[in-house]
Structure 1
Amino acid sequence: MTVLDRVAPPLFIFIWATGYIVAKLAAPHADPLTFLSWRYAGVLALMLGLALAARAPWPSRRDMLHLAVAGLGIQAVYLGGVWVAIRQGLPAGTAALIVNLQPVLVAALAPLIGERVAPRQWLGVALGLGGVVLVIWHKLTLGASFGPPLLLCVMALLAITGGTLYQKRFAPHFDLRTGQVVQFAAALAVTLPLAWLTEPMRIEWNASVGVAMAWSVLVLTAGGISLMFHMLRHGRVTAVSSTMYLVPSVTSVMAWLLFGETLGAQAIAGMGVTLLGVYLVVARKPTETAA
Structure 2
Amino acid sequence: MTALAPSRLDAMLLAGMPVLFVALWSTGFIGAKFGLPHAEPFTFLFMRFVLTLMLLVPLVKLFKGGWPRGARLWGHIGVSGMLVHGAYLGGVFYGIHLGMPAGLAALLVGLQPLLTATLASPFLGERITTVQWLGLLLGLAGIILVLGSKLDPGKDLFQGFGLGALASIMAALAGITLGTLYQKRFCTGMPLLSGTVVQYMAAGILLGIGALLLEERHIDWTPTFVLTMAWLVLVLSIAAILLLMALIRRGEASRVASLFYLVPPVTALQAWWLFDERLPLAGLVGMVITIVGVVLAVRGKAAQKA
- Shorter chain as denominator, the TM-score bin is 0.7 to 0.9
Which one has a bigger Cα radius of gyration? 2
Q: Is the 8 A contact 2:102 2:271 kept in 1?
A: no
2:183 corresponding residue in structure 1: 167
Structure 2 vs 1, CA of residues 84 and 275 (structure 1 numbering), >3 Å: closer, same or farther?
Answer: closer
1:255 to 265, 271, 291: 271
Aligned to 2:201: 185
In structure 1, the residue matched to 2:61 is 52
Equivalent residues of 1:43, 1:218 under 8 A apart? yes
In structure 1, the residue matched to 2:132 is: 121
TM-score by length of 1: 0.78
Q: CA deviation at 1:245?
A: 5.1
1:209 is paired with a residue of what secondary structure? helix
What is the correspondence of 1:1-291 to structure 2 with a 5 Å cutoff? 10-61=19-70, 62-89=72-99, 95-96=105-106, 98-111=108-121, 112-131=123-142, 134=145, 138-139=149-150, 143-144=157-158, 148-224=164-240, 240=257, 246-262=262-278, 265-266=281-282, 268-270=284-286, 272-283=288-299
1:40 touches 1:185 (CA, 8 Å); kept in 2?
yes
Q: State the 1:146 CA deviation.
A: 5.8
CA distance in structure 1 between the aligned counterparts of 2:57 and 2:131, rounded to whole angstroms: 42
Q: For 2:20 and 2:145, how far apart are their aligned partners in 1?
A: 23
Q: Distance in 1 between matches of 2:57 and 2:277?
A: 39
Contact 1:94 1:139 in 2 (8 A): no
Distance across 2 between alignment mates of 1:285 and 1:89: 35
- Relative to 1, partners in 2 of residues 1:246 and 1:181: Cα closer, same or farther, differing over 3 Å? same
The SS at the match of 2:219 is coil
CA gap of 1:286–1:256, structure 2 versus 1, over 3 A, is: closer
Structure 1 counterpart of 2:46, one-letter code: S
2:266 is matched by which residue type in structure 1?
A: V
> Structure 1 286/76 Cα, relative in aligned 2: closer, same or farther at 3 Å?
closer
Whether the 8 Å contact between 1:44 and 1:180 is mirrored in structure 2 is no
The answer to which of 247-256 and 97-106 deviates more is 97-106
Identity over aligned pairs, percent: 42
Q: Displacement, 1:192?
A: 1.5
User: What is the TM-score of this pair, normalised by structure 2?
Assistant: 0.75
**Cα offset for 1:184?**
0.8
Return 5+ residue gaps in structure 2 as ranges: 1-10
